[in-house]
């Protein structure tokens, strides 16, 4: 974690520790990685719901890793359990945990609906 990941840098707080939005983004990234190679051509997933508890602070320089486990599939809806753990010589422990819901979409149709240009 670096200075750009802090609450201070992201304007979500007054302290230079890991910002909650950055922690949630790390968990979203883990959920995306869990789907690599599992979606069909032209398909992607988008986050639709986040239920997350930020449980402990992490200082600049700390290593925080996120994990995502696909718990269930409900049609196009994918529900993940996510967690983020601090790993350092000084201490280790759970930094945050929760659930993340993603929905499978057709990428081109989704981008068209948003008025965005395909990559």
Dist CA 104 CA 40 (whole Å): 10
Would the pLDDT of 54 be above 80?
Answer: yes
Instruction: Output the pTM of the full model.
Output: 0.91
Mean pLDDT along residues 79-104: 91
| Per-residue model confidence (pLDDT) at position 87 | 82
Neighbours of 65 (CB within 10 A): 12
Tokens of 62: 């700390």
Q: What is the CATH number of domain 23-114?
A: 3.10.129.10
Residues 2-36: tens digit of each pLDDT: 999 999 999 999 999 999 999 999 999 999 999 99
């Amino acid at each position: 974690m670096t200075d750009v990941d802090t609450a201070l840098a992201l304007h979500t707080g007054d302290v230079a520790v890991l910002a909650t939005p950055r922690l949630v983004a790390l968990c979203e990234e883990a959920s995306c990685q869990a789907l690599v190679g599992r979606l069909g051509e032209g398909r992607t997933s988008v986050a639709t719901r986040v239920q997350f508890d930020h449980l402990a602070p992490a200082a600049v320089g700390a290593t925080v890793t996120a994990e995502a486990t696909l718990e269930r599939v409900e049609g196009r809806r994918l529900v993940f359990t996510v967690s983020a753990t601090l790993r350092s010589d000084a201490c280790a422990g759970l930094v945050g945990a929760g659930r993340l819901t993603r929905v499978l979409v057709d990428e081109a149709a989704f981008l068209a609906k948003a008025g965005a240009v395909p990559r």
